[in-house]
């Protein structure tokens, strides 16, 4: 089964680090990704830019609506993800515990699944 580890970090947290701290945090995350790859568990990994350049798109009946970031109501943002393959829930949780981001953010473990399937919500 496939699981995604979502890095849920406080908005603005990255700006609190100096350059050396930021580079070290990034290096730790790269090493974590390399460990996943070495074990044959990594399907994809990406870091995401802050919400400052993001846009939210929705469509009420008839007209699309766009809202540029940063989003004032947001206290957290998805900072990146690791997509794991060939793991079960317990193994995904074990990897999440090893993720360096767990020191400064939450690591949310989510199974990949259809949006709707009998018995699932």
d(CA 38, CA 32): 10
pTM of the model: 0.87
Per-residue confidence (pLDDT) for residue 115, from 0 to 100: 83
Q: Spell out the domains of the chain, with CATH numbers in brackets.
A: 3-111 (3.30.70.1060)
DSSP 36: H
Q: What is the pLDDT of residues 40-76, one digit of tens each?
A: 999 999 999 988 889 989 887 878 888 888 887 888 9
% of the chain exceeding 90 in pLDDT = 70
Q: Which residues, including other chains, have CB under 8 Å from residue 112's CB and lie 6 or more apart? A: 1, 2, 3, 4, 83
Give CB contacts under 8 A, 24+ apart, made by 43-46: 43/2, 43/83, 43/84, 43/85, 44/81, 44/82, 44/83, 45/80, 45/81, 45/82, 45/83, 46/80, 46/81
Per-residue confidence (pLDDT) for residue 120, from 0 to 100: 57
Q: In the predicted model, is pLDDT for residue 117 greater than 80?
A: no
* Averaged pLDDT for residues 95-104: 96
């Amino acid at each position: 089964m496939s699981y995604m580890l979502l890095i849920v970090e406080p908005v603005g947290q990255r700006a609190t680090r100096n350059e050396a701290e930021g580079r070290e945090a990034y290096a730790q995350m790269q090493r974590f990704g390399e460990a996943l790859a070495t074990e044959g568990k990594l399907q994809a990994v990406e870091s995401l830019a802050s919400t400052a350049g993001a846009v939210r798109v929705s469509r009420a009946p008839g007209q699309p609506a766009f809202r540029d970031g940063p989003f004032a109501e947001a206290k957290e943002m998805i900072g990146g993800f690791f997509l794991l393959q060939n793991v079960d829930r317990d193994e995904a949780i074990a990897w999440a515990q090893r993720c360096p981001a767990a020191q400064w953010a939450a690591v949310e473990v989510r199974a990949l699944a259809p949006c709707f399937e009998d018995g699932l919500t």
